[in-house]
Amino acid sequence: MCRMTYTEWRELMSDGLRQGQDQVYADMEKTVLLRVYSSNVVPGFLQTPEYVRALLHNITDFFGTPNDVDQAVDARTARQRFLHEGDHQFRVIVEEQVLRHRIGDASTMREQLQHLLDSLTVPSLRVGIIPFGAERSVWPLESFYLYDDRQTLVENLTAKVDVKAPAELADYLRAFVGLSKSAVHGDNARVLIESALAAI
């Protein structure tokens, strides 16, 4: 069994962004518990269409790949159905800086942060935010998605890494637990989002 696959984004996006979005959708569909840590952007299944559009335009421009952004936006936002259907559960940890990074214009960011606020009430979702200055046992990492206990998708600038080796999966789970301990949840997370929203 292959324990790790390293695939360059340019290869994955050689025909555009839509195909990759469809693969993530398929992975989420068969996942009961999805744990996500993001240090850079709002996780895809919590993104608004305009936030997705701005982000994917940036990615397309950076890599010079075919522009199928409109189709990719529809494919990415389709993942949100899993928040409300089936027995899927989501545990999300983001760094506070994710709330402050400007993706798109001010209107796009206001809409995105308001959507994130509204999402805090979704029963299947638990969001934690690691505040600036929080004491931590796990340093800021590259973003990763832990699908049940079978696979971790790690994202860096040039590639995605699919990790399946049990020892490495255990490390990512341990990292997620450590990052969660540094995060605030509930009303305290809401305060941080509201603060970022007010600062726009």
pLDDT digits (tens, 9 = 90+) for 128-184: 999 999 999 999 999 999 999 999 999 999 999 999 999 999 999 999 999 999 999
Q: Report pLDDT for 106.
A: 97
Matching CATH number, 14-148+167-195, of 1.10.3470, 3.30.420, 3.40.50, 3.30.870: 3.30.870
Residue 1 has pLDDT above 60, yes or no: no
Q: At residue 111, does pLDDT exceed 90?
A: yes
Q: Could you report the per-residue pLDDT of 170-200, keeping only the tens digit for each?
A: 999 999 999 999 999 999 999 999 999 999 9
Q: Where are the beta strands (DSSP E) in 44-104?
A: 89-95
pLDDT in tens, 14-66: 888 888 888 888 899 999 999 999 999 999 999 999 999 999 999 999 999 89
**Degrees (nearest 5) of the Cα angle 187, 188, 191?**
85
Q: What gap in Å lies between CA 69 and CA 106, rounded to an integer?
A: 20
Side chain identity, residue 142? E
pLDDT band at residue 3 using 50, 70 and 90 as cut-offs: confident
Query: What does the alpha-carbon distance between residue 35 and residue 33 come to, in Å, rounded to a whole number?
Result: 6
